[in-house]
Amino acid sequence: MLTLSLFVWVSNGLSLLIVGFGKPTAANQFSENATLSLGTNGNLVLAEADGTVVWQTNTANKGVVGFKLLSNGNMVLRDSKGNFIWQSFDYPTDTLLVGQSIRVGGVTKLVSRKSAKENVDGSYSFVLEPKQWAMYHKISNSPQPVLYYSSPRQPTDYLKFICTPDTDEGFAYDLSLETSDGGSSFLARPKYNSTASFLRLGMDGNLVIYTYYDKVSWGAYEKTFSAFDRDSNWETECQLPERCGKLGVCEDNQCVACPSEKGLLGWSKSCEAKKLTSCAAKDFHYYKIEGVDHYMCKYTRGSGPVKVEDCGKKCTSDCKCLGYFYNQDTSRCWIAYDLMTLTKVSNSTHLGFIKVPNK
Ligand SMILES: *[C@@H]1O[C@H](CO)[C@@H](O)[C@H](O)[C@H]1NC(C)=O
Ligand SMILES: *[C@@H]1O[C@H](CO)[C@@H](O)[C@H](O)[C@H]1NC(C)=O
Ligand SMILES: *[C@@H]1O[C@H](CO)[C@@H](O)[C@H](O)[C@H]1NC(C)=O
């Protein structure tokens, strides 16, 4: 019988599930006395002390003869010929370890965790699609998730998180995403052996790498990549949907204003739009903000060309619409089912209209 402390390097027992096993079905968490055991029939089961099954591999009677945790963090169940009958690397959740991939025909996306305590699907996903990789934010008000980042590229069968020495001497190591056409997308370059890294889609929708340096006794983990960051060539923090909480104008990675009918006020975490009391057109109106985009505007085309009035009508007749965004240069229109972070743009031809109750 194995105990969870085996996997201490992925930080704790809960990470064991989060890193490699899929989200547990019977419970969000398991207690300290839960045990992982490989039955004689070859099924690997995580069960509570009272026998309640938290999670299992469903590999009973498939010829499994052994279990091994490989040095790269992949946990495998092997048959007598050494073939992998089951491997944790096939079930990424919100994290990829070095060597692990998302792929066509298998798991094609990473999904964030809801919260540190609730190990269930959160609202963000990083998805391998035929012509791009894309990042989505799922919102309660709309069946369609909102695209907040995408990177067009050649079709690829997989995206694999890899670590390769940059020089023969190993002075630096490149952390990248490898594609099936032989290419790779560079992410970070720690100046030490950074094989012990993981790439994670965070609860805030950011994609980050943490790297472990085993030569030091504390502070061994450091963040070596952050996709939405002031120093990133992907995006700034302002492109993160929840950077400014429920509502805020974001500029230079910071929340600089709380929009209101009285104009732009100082921002604080309590900034939010007034709750609508009814969706009858007579019960609400809009106020206008100039020089902002909704976080969805950058990577989605919206609809149009349409007149600004028609864009407004679309929002007015849609009970779930909380506001609309309009670009006067291109006459394109975006209907917003959440507000959250609005990005400041230099051009005042980008307009935002926020729905507010009449009283
Ligand atoms: C785990 O087992 C120990 C020793 O039997 C017991 O004291 C403790 O309460 C148990 N914890 C849980 C969460 O069941
Ligand atoms: C880098 O670290 C990994 C994991 O600790 C180890 O297996 C590998 O041999 C190291 N590479 C070099 C060149 O030392
Ligand atoms: C702002 O909009 C005007 C009017 O459509 C356009 O000509 C100009 O190029 C835009 N400026 C910037 C900085 O995008």
Helix (H) or strand (E) segment spanning residue 112: strand 109-113
pTM of the model: 0.87
Q: How many helices (H) and strands (E) does the chain have?
A: 2, 27
Ligand 2 atom nearest 214 alpha carbon: 5
Ligand 3 centroid distance, CA of 137 (Å) = 29
Return the structure tokens found at 101: 């991939």
Residue appearing with tokens 């009973």 = 60
Q: What is the pLDDT along the chain (359 residues), one digit of tens a residue?
A: 233 323 323 333 333 443 444 444 434 467 778 888 889 999 998 888 899 888 889 999 999 999 888 888 888 999 999 999 999 899 888 999 999 999 999 999 999 999 887 778 899 999 999 989 999 999 988 889 999 999 988 889 999 999 999 888 889 999 999 999 989 999 999 999 999 999 999 999 999 999 999 888 888 999 999 999 999 999 999 999 999 999 999 999 999 999 999 999 999 999 999 999 998 999 999 999 999 999 999 999 999 999 999 999 999 999 999 999 999 999 999 999 999 999 999 989 999 999 999 98
d(CA 320, CA 110): 28
Which residue is closest in CA terms to ligand 1's atom 9? 33
Task: Please state, in angstroms and rounded to a whole number, the distance separating the CA atoms of residues 273 and 221.
Answer: 39
In this structure, which ligand is nearest to the CA of 347? 3
Q: Does 3 sit in the ligand 1 pocket, CB within 6 Å?
A: no
What gap in Å lies between CA 88 and CA 93, rounded to an integer?
10
The residues, ordered by sequence, that sit 6+ positions from 11 with a Cβ below 8 Å of its Cβ are none
DSSP SS3 for 120: coil
Q: Which residues are paired to 76 by β-bridges? A: 68, 87
CA dihedral 356, 262, 139, 137 (to 10 degrees): 150
The strand pair at 247-251 and 340-344 is best described as parallel
Q: Which of 293, 347, 348 to mutate to test the pocket of ligand 3 (most atoms within 8 A of CB)?
A: 347
Q: In what order do the strands lie in the sheet with 146-152?
A: 109-113, 121-128, 132-137, 146-152
- Whether the link from the prior residue into 259 is cis, omega within 30° of 0, is no
